[in-house]
Structure formats: C-alpha cells, structure tokens
Amino acid sequence: MNEEVRKMLSNPTTTVEKAGRLCYGLCRNTAYAAAARGEIPTIRMGRLLKVPTAALRAKLGLVEAA
C-alpha cells in the first residue's frame, strides 16, 4: 500500500473522488456512480457525501484482527 493511500485511510472520512481514485482506480464521475450504487460506502454530512474510512478498510479487507 502506498503512502498516499495509507494517509487517506488514517483519517476518519475521505471524499468519494479520492476513495474511488486511490482504492479502485476510478475517475470522479465513475466514483460517484459507484457510490450511488452502494459499491463505495458513504455517509451524508449535510450536503457533502463522505466515505467513512473504517467502512472502506473493511470493504477492502484491511481490517486487522483483534
């Protein structure tokens, strides 16, 4: 995992665009379409659509065993 991905996943949330680009190799429009289909986990914060990185790590299988 590269440093940019590691830094993004250390924050509580990230943007749909950044999650799509770094984790799935998607452009902005395709990332938002994937989020609309539920393929990228999202939460709404007012008018913003954010990706909770805990859910993203789980979806990518990056959750450490307790």
Whole-structure pTM value? 0.86
Question: What SS3 state is found at 45?
Answer: strand
Domain ranges of the chain: 3-59
pLDDT single digits (tens) 50-61: 999 999 999 888
Question: What letters, b where the CB count within 10 A reaches 16 and e where it falls short, cover 19-31?
Answer: bbbbbeebeeeeb
pLDDT single digits (tens) 7-52: 999 999 999 999 999 999 999 999 999 999 999 999 999 999 999 9
